[in-house]
Every structure is written in structure tokens, then in C-alpha cells.
Chains A and B, each alone.
Chain A
Amino acid sequence: MILDILRPYKEQKDFSLALDHSPYAKMMGFHLESKAGVLRTKMKFNNDHIGAPFPPVLHGGTVASLMESAALMQLIWDTHLKSMPTTVDINIDYLRSGQPIDTYARARLYRIGRRFATMHVEAWQDNREKPIASAMLHFLMKGQGE
């Protein structure tokens, strides 16, 4: 159970190894960075991320997945869930084309209810003030504690 694997990291207040348990996250080059309770997910650039070659830009799907991973990890970090939340929907706005360099995402818990959580995510590259994409997601939570 993935939440059992993640619990010790949370108790140590360091989530940086959390995504290493996912083969997909590993293949995509996702890395969690946690500093003082603030999470940031990084997608280390690799040539397999390219969606259009001339000029090279990131595939929109890679940015969408990065944002979903960032939202899910932030939700687990911010709550005390007893089972894995499931993604209900994701709504992505693409703002700028992604350059062939590292990309970062930071998620924020917008609202949490008994069953649903609404998250907002921004993705950026070399300039935090110029996001390349933003997304809203809903997650369904079952068996939330506390």
C-alpha cells in the first residue's frame, strides 16, 4: 500500500524520496523537493519529453503529468488520509510553450471537504513569475482520518 510506504517520510518531514516508488514517476524524471514543509516537484529534462522537434518544445502531456503528481503529493502531505485519493478530473491551461529544460510544479490545496479536495497547480521553468501552465484538479478521498 503506497500510503504505508509514504508515512515514514512524512513523519520525518522529508518527502523527497516519495515519488521514487512509482515506476512512471521514475521514467518521467519526477523528483520531489521538500524544504520546511513546502513541496516542489521537478521534472528533469530529457530528450524523450519533446513533443514537437522544430523548434524543440515539451510535450503537453509531460507538463500535465508533472502537475498531477505535484497535486497528489501535496494533498497527501497536507492531509491524514487512510487510503489513496483518486483523481476525478484535471483541467489544464497551457500558457507558454515548454522549453527543453527542467520544469517545476507547485500545488496548493484550494479547498478540502469531507470527500473532495480541490487543488491548484502551477508549472514554470526558469522564471517562477512566468508559468508555462496552470491546472485545477479534483480528488476524491475515501476514509479520511482526523
Chain B
Amino acid sequence: MIPHARRLGLKLVAEQDQYLIVELPFSTDLEEAADSGIMANGAITTLLDTALGAVSFHQFGKLKRIATLDLRVDYFSPPKAFSSIFAKVECTKITPEVIFVRGLVYCDDENEPIAQSVAAFSYAEIPLSVGMKK
């Protein structure tokens, strides 16, 4: 498990061929302002970076080294107070060097997204010196 994803309490709630859904449960220590019930944009961006990375990873049968090249997030409206936030992400295209992914963010209805995102990840074989026995 990724330490920072664990810290935010991220949960994989659906895993289909085409997409993944990751949940960010509401937590008071993720509020932008105390007692507002509104989680910080930073937590949403992290939810997306994690989910988009996971869906990129998911494209391969064996382990690859994956790095975010860029990430864009458009914030449509604030999340619902005291609500879980979900990211539904999918892979748009895999080229020999780059994976292009996108996703939508919503609270209780995926037809009413509160944010959208696109990202590009580079991928490479894991070097033999890393994680391998001598």
C-alpha cells in the first residue's frame, strides 16, 4: 500500500476492465477550513494522481516503473460537505512510451461531476538492480 494513499484513507471500490473507481472517505483532518465539511482541493488532486497512476499500472500484466509526466485538474464546484469523494478513471491511449489517462470526480452522482482530470505517465521496465535478488 502507498503510504500517502493510506494516510488519506483511499479505497479501491471498483475494478473493471475499462475503469477503476477510488474513494476518498470524508475526514475532518482533510478539511480546508475547520468545521466546514469541505475537503481540500489538495486531497482531491492526490485522489486523482493516485487513481490515475493505479489505472496506468493496471494496464500491464507485469510490474513497470511509472512516473507522472503531467497532471491537469479542472475544479467545477466544491465537493458536498461531509461526503465521500470518488474518482472514476480510465486509460485513453497507450503508446510505446506514454500512457494517457483521464478521470471524473463526483460525490454521489457520477453524472454530476465536481472535477475532471487528464494525465500522462511514462513507463519503463523496472531495472534489474531494483527489487531483484542477486
Contacts and interface: CB of A to CB of B under 8 A. Distances in A.
Interface of A: 2, 21-28, 47-55, 59-62, 64-66, 68-69, 86-94, 97
8 contacts: A21-B34, A22-B31, A27-B30, A59-B5, A61-B47, A64-B49, A65-B43, A87-B75
Nearest to A65: B42
Given A24-B32, A24-B43, A61-B45, 11 more contacts: A22-B33, A22-B34, A23-B34, A24-B39, A28-B42, A50-B4, A60-B53, A61-B42, A61-B48, A65-B46, A68-B45
Listed residue (B4, B28, B46, B74) with the most chain A CB atoms within 10 angstroms of its CB: B4
Contacts of B47: 61
A60 B131 CA distance: 22
Interface residues of B, number: 37
Contacts of A68: 41-42, 45
B29 A60 contact: no
B73 to A, nearest CB: 5
Q: Which 7 A-B pairs have the closest CB atoms?
A: A65-B42, A61-B46, A24-B40, A59-B4, A48-B7, A61-B49, A50-B3
